[in-house]
Amino acid sequence: MVDVSQHELVPDHSIVDEDVLDDVLEEYNIKKTDLPKIKRTDPATPDEAEVGDVIKIVRNSRTTDQAVVYRLVVS
């Protein structure tokens, strides 16, 4: 299959480490389940990601240069 991450519409997806994640959740004062979701089967989800992991997505934003968002992996 084609390498999805090479497509210009697909931003960088990477798995967030547990301790970094705690800082993020604390900053926004939310629970992990409040994050937007991404499917485990999503073509852009990193292969080693499991349900419950959080994916960090760095978009080229139209309004700021780069926007960082997080998505929780769900089944």
Partner 1 sequence: MTRANVTDDIEAIVEDTDLPRRLKDDVYSTIEERDVTVEEADQIAKAVQSRYQETRVDPLDPVGTVSAQSIGEPGTQMTMNTFHYAGVAEIDVTQGLPRLIELVDARKTPDTPMMTVHLEDEYATDREKAHEVVWKIEATRILALGDISTNVADMLVQIDLNEETLMERWPTVDQVEDVAEEIAETIESKLAVQTRQAGTMIEFGPEEPSYRDLLQLVEELREVVFKGIEDISRVVIRKEETDEGEEFVLYTEGSAFGDVLGIEGIDASRTTCNNIHEIYRNLGIEAARETLINETMHTLEEQGLDDVNIRHLMLVADIMTNRGEIESIGRHGISGNKESVLARAAYEVTVNHLLDAAIHGEVDVLEGVIENVIVGKPVQLGTGDVDLRMGASQD
Q: Among 14, 36, 51, 52, which residue interacts with partner 1 (rule: CB under 8 A)?
A: 36
In the complex, the smallest distance separating the C-beta of residue 32 from partner 1, rounded to whole angstroms, is 14
Nearest to residue 38, comparing CAs of 58, 17, 53? 53
Restricted to residues 38-67, the positions that interact with partner 1 (CB under 8 A) are 38-39, 42-45, 57, 59, 62-66
- Do residues 35 and 59 make contact, with C-beta atoms less than 8 angstroms apart? no
50 CA to centre of own chain: 12
Place of tokens 């937007």: 36
Q: Which residues bind partner 1 (CB under 8 A)?
A: 1-4, 6-11, 13, 36-39, 42-45, 57, 59, 62-66, 71, 74
